[in-house]
Each structure stands twice: as C-alpha cells, then as structure tokens.
Structure 1
Amino acid sequence: MANTSNMRQKTITLGIAMHKPYPVPRASIYLPIHVGAALNPDVLSHIQGDNTGDNISTLNPYFCELTALYWLWKNNDSDYKGLVHYRRYFATNNFFKRHSHNRFERILEKTELDQILVQHPIILPKKRHYVIETIHSHYAHTMYASQLNITEQVLQDIAPEYVAAWRSLMRQRSAHIFNMMIMDREHFDAYCAWLFPILFELTSRLDPNQYDAFHARYPGRISEMLLNVWIMHKGIHVGQQPTTFTECINWWNKGTSFLKAKFFKQKYTGSF
C-alpha cells in the first residue's frame, strides 16, 4: 500500500506583502498580507495583517516586507512558504503567458510551481547583474557604506562562519534581490531563525531613525544580501525563476539614477 503521507498534496503559501489596496492573483497559493498593519490598521482591514500572533509589525518602516516574512515564519505551517510583493511576482515559464498583455497572466501558478518544486526545494529570483559595479560599490554609491561595514561586524560577532561568504558577495557583480523566495518549510524556518537575530542586532547598533524614511529601510535592503550569504554558505543549489512586474517600469529613470550614483555620487532618494 502506498504511503499516504507521500500522497498528500503539499500545501503552499506565498505571502504577498501589501501596504495599500491593489489587485492580487486569485490563485489559492497566494495570501495577501497587510504589512505594517499595527501602524495603519484601517488601510487593508479585510486581509490578513502582519500584526496577529507572534509578529514584528511595528518594525515595518525599517524591515519593509520582512514583517510579512516574520509573520509567515511564526504563524504559518505550510509545507512550502514564500514571499512576493504586491506588484512583483515570480513569472511563469510559459512563453505565451509571459508575453500576455494582461500582466497578471504572467504570474506563476500552482500547477507549474508544483513541478518546479519537485526539482528545487528553494526558488529565488534570477540574479541581477550590475556589470560595472560590485555589490559593495553599488550599495555604497546608492545608500550608505557604513551599513555594510556594521553588518559585517555583526556577522563577525554572532555568525562568524558566514563572514567569508559575505566578503565574497561584496566582490561579486550579481545577486538575488527583491527579498523574494519560495522554500520548503524546513529551509524557510531555518533561514528566518538565522536572519532575524542578525537584523535585530544590526538595528540595535545602527538606529534606523537617524535616516530619512527612505534610508531608514536599510534593514530590508541588507537582508537581500544576507539571503545570498546564507545560500552561499550552505552551498544550496537553488532554482531560479524570472520575475514579472504588474506595472510598466521607467527604465530611463532607473538607468540614469544608477549612472548618477556610480559617477556623480548621487544617492538614491526613493524607489523606482
């Protein structure tokens, strides 16, 4: 007789980090999560808030979408868990859907995801390649290098075995970004158990309130790099999926801001 535990369909929950009303996919694997719900409870009162159970909802101005990640870690026991954004998702591999005029048809759905997860217990966005910048120089030009320096000090103090991977990443010219991932529960929970103590220690040493609202979100940005560090140190082979954005991207503004930061030391002042 077949093992019934192996026949059970795996449950998948992909949290959609949201801070305002916006259309979302109807697929059952997606769970809209109101991030910062403790601070703005009436904005999205009809969806799951990140302020229930064990949560860090009040840290949303600094941790951004990570308050949804934390909520999933502590309050959801699906076999696979993941995080996407209300405008950015993992994309389907289907050529025709990828080029649909309806941008929501480009989003990865459960049937296809089930097949991908058979091959890879962890899925990350395809790497972004900076070409003329290293990870360190790009961050230093657009944000504040001191945040990288203190992050390395925190790693040296509480997770020294990861310092080599951190330094290696700083020299590289590509990385997985966006704080998007899909992982089996074991990896997901292990990653969160590693990540959040580092970020809590980091913010205790470098108060986000010393920055304006845009740069106060540095813990969320640092975590994008830490995800790469965790994967590199663990030697985990991950699956990579393209991403899709539900709105048109102003590539001119994005590209010129990148070059101004590189050559004229003009730091970013807002998201694109």
Structure 2
Amino acid sequence: MTRSLKIAVASHKPYWMPPDAAYLPVQAGAAGREAIPGFARDDEGDSISGRNPRYCELTVLYWAWRNLDADYLGLAHYRRHFAGSGERGVMTGAEALADLGRAPALLPRERRYYVETIESHYGHTFDPAHIDALRQALSDVSPGRLPAFERRMRMTHAHMLNMAVMRADVLGAYCGWLFDVLARAEEMIDFEGMTPFEARCIGRLSERLLDAWLDSEGMPCVERPVVSMEPVSWAKKGTAFLAAKFLGRKYEASF
C-alpha cells in the first residue's frame, strides 16, 4: 500500500529546497508579507501565522497539522534537515518512510549537553522564569504529564530543533496537546521589553516538551542525524555555551 508523506520546510526567505516530492516549502510568518514564489504560506486556512515572532517555525507546524492531508507529516527547517542520501545530503522521502515503518515518530538525533541539564541550560542561556511558566502551564493544562517533564528537565540530553516526522494521527495528538500548553505558557510570560530574539521563547520552550510527551505516551521513535545547509561555527557555539554557564552571559542571537 502506498503511503503519503509531506514534510513542511519552514523558511522566512527564498532558499534552496530539497527537490524530493516529499518536501513542501512553506513561508513562515507569511501574514502581511509578500509571497515567496513557489512556497505555500502559513497564513492560509487554519493558521497562527501572526504569532510567528513568538512561535518561530511552530506556525508552520501548526499550519501543516491543520491543513495538510497525508499519512505522515513532518517539519524541517530551511537551514537544517534530516540527513540522508538525497541532494546535499538530505533525507529522501523513501528513507523517511522506511524509518517510519519501524516506529511512528522520526526525530533528530538527541543533543547532549554533558555538563548541563535541560533545565539549567535554558536558565543559563535565557530567562529561567520561562521554564517556571511552562511548568505551571503543564500543571494547569496537562498535570498527568508533569512527572515526565520533570524527569526530562533533569536529563542532559534531549531531542531538540522542533524537527520531527510522525504518523499523522500521532502528530495530531501531539500538536493538539502542545499548542494548548504553549498558549497557556504564553499567557503567563511577560513579553514587555523583550528583544525580538528573546520574544521567540515560545518556540524554544516547545523543544523542552516533545520528549515529555513521547515518554508519557510510551511512544517509540527512530533517529537520524541532522545536516546543516550552512557552515556551523562550533567554536562560536561552544564559547557562547561556556560563557552562559560560567559567566552568566545570556544568548543574544542564533548561531
């Protein structure tokens, strides 16, 4: 039986996209902006495009969940993709479906912080009050998943990047829960005086929720490494990581 797959690729600007038919370029934060030729828009149909300054690529995830029809749905970024044998080292649709034949969720390989827990890393690099708001949001909206969240906050590794491909019913269950929790957290966070970079905290907080949901569901997953479309300065990333941990310097930009 043929299985259909759509992986939305979030981008706010024209950029190279995998030519594989499984991938769909989607303009992130498209509301009120000129269309990017050849891209779908995240402000069509049921959407939260206007919240992109806080939700980042999650506005594309929401759009894909609410508007695409396929057996498997996923999200990648214009600068980051699942690695595979396709053009520029990107995973092909056939490779994704093969992986998803073994488990209902395909995730990027876990990121390991070694000397930081998931919670302490966020607290050193951003405002730790955001994690407190997220914890309270879970307590209000989904208290049964709070123990899994607390366990994950104490770990030193996690599935990050807001990238995933899942069976459509699994993605639907996850997104229905995720966006309810994030909306509650958003209500409790004071955005007054934040820089645009700081205001993207809702998108960052979501990265701390995926594993808690998977754990509490007992959901099996498979992993792939991630390939970057642009050079990564590991020296710069490492220096910023150490400066945040030992010198209290918060992140001020993406790397």
TM-score by length of 1: 0.91
CA contact 1:177–1:224 (8 Å) conserved in 2: yes
Which residue of structure 1 lines up, in the alignment, with residue 48 of structure 2? 56
Q: 1:208·1:217 contact (CA, 8 Å) conserved in 2?
A: no
> Which segments of 5 or more consecutive residues in structure 2 lack a partner in the other structure?
none
Match of 1:153 in 2: 136
Q: Does 1:88 align with 2:80?
A: yes
1:203-214 equivalences in 2 (<5 Å)? 203-214=186-197
CA contact (8 A) 1:19 1:43 kept: no
SS of 1:208's partner is: coil
CA apart distance, 1:91: 0.5
Aligned pair 1:163/2:146, yes or no?
yes
Q: How does 1:1-272 map to 2 (within 5 A)?
A: 7=1, 9-40=2-33, 42=34, 44-92=36-84, 104-272=87-255
Cα distance, 1:45 vs. partner? 4.6
Gaps of 5+ in 1: 1-6, 98-103
Following superposition, the deviation at residue 247 of structure 1 comes to: 1.1
**C-alpha distance in structure 1 between counterparts of 2:51 and 2:184, whole Å:** 14
Shift of 1:170: 0.9
Q: By how many angstroms is 1:228 displaced? A: 1.2
Q: Which has the larger radius of gyration?
A: 1
CA contact (8 A) 1:122 1:181 kept: yes
Runs (4 or more) in structure 1 with deviation over 6 Å come to: none
Cα offsets for 1:121-180 (capped at 9, x unmatched) = 101111000001010111000001100011101111110001101111110000000000
Secondary structure (helix, strand or coil) at the match of 2:101 reads helix
Q: How far did residue 237 of structure 1 move? A: 1.4
Listed one character per residue, the Cα deviations across residues 180-222 of structure 1 (whole Å, up to 9, x for unaligned) are 0000001000001001011111111114344110010000000
User: Are the structure 2 counterparts of residues 36 and 209 from structure 1 closer, same or farther at C-alpha, using a change threshold of 3 Å?
Assistant: farther
Distance 1:29 1:43 in 2: 21
Any idea what the Cα deviations from partners look like across 1:43-69, whole Å, max 9, x if unmatched? 515410000001000000000000000
Paired residues of 1:69 and 1:83 also in contact (CA < 8 A): yes
Q: Which amino acid in the other structure matches residue 180 of structure 1?
A: M
- The alpha carbon displacement at 1:114 in A equals 2.1
Preserved contact between residue 21 and residue 43 of structure 1 (Cα < 8 Å): no
Higher helix share: 1
Q: What is the distance in 2 between the residues matched to 1:49 and 1:207?
A: 29
Question: 1:24 is aligned with what amino acid?
Answer: M
Distance 1:79 1:209 in 2: 41
Q: Could you tell me whether the CA contact under 8 Å between 1:62 and 1:208 is conserved in 2? A: no
Q: Is the 8 A contact 1:209 1:216 kept in 2?
A: no
Give the letter for the 1:76 counterpart.
Answer: L
Which range moves more in the overlay, 42-51 or 125-134? 42-51
> What secondary structure sits across from 1:225 in the alignment?
coil
Q: Deviations over 1:33-86 (max 9, x none)?
A: 00110032x151541000000100000000000000000111012100000000
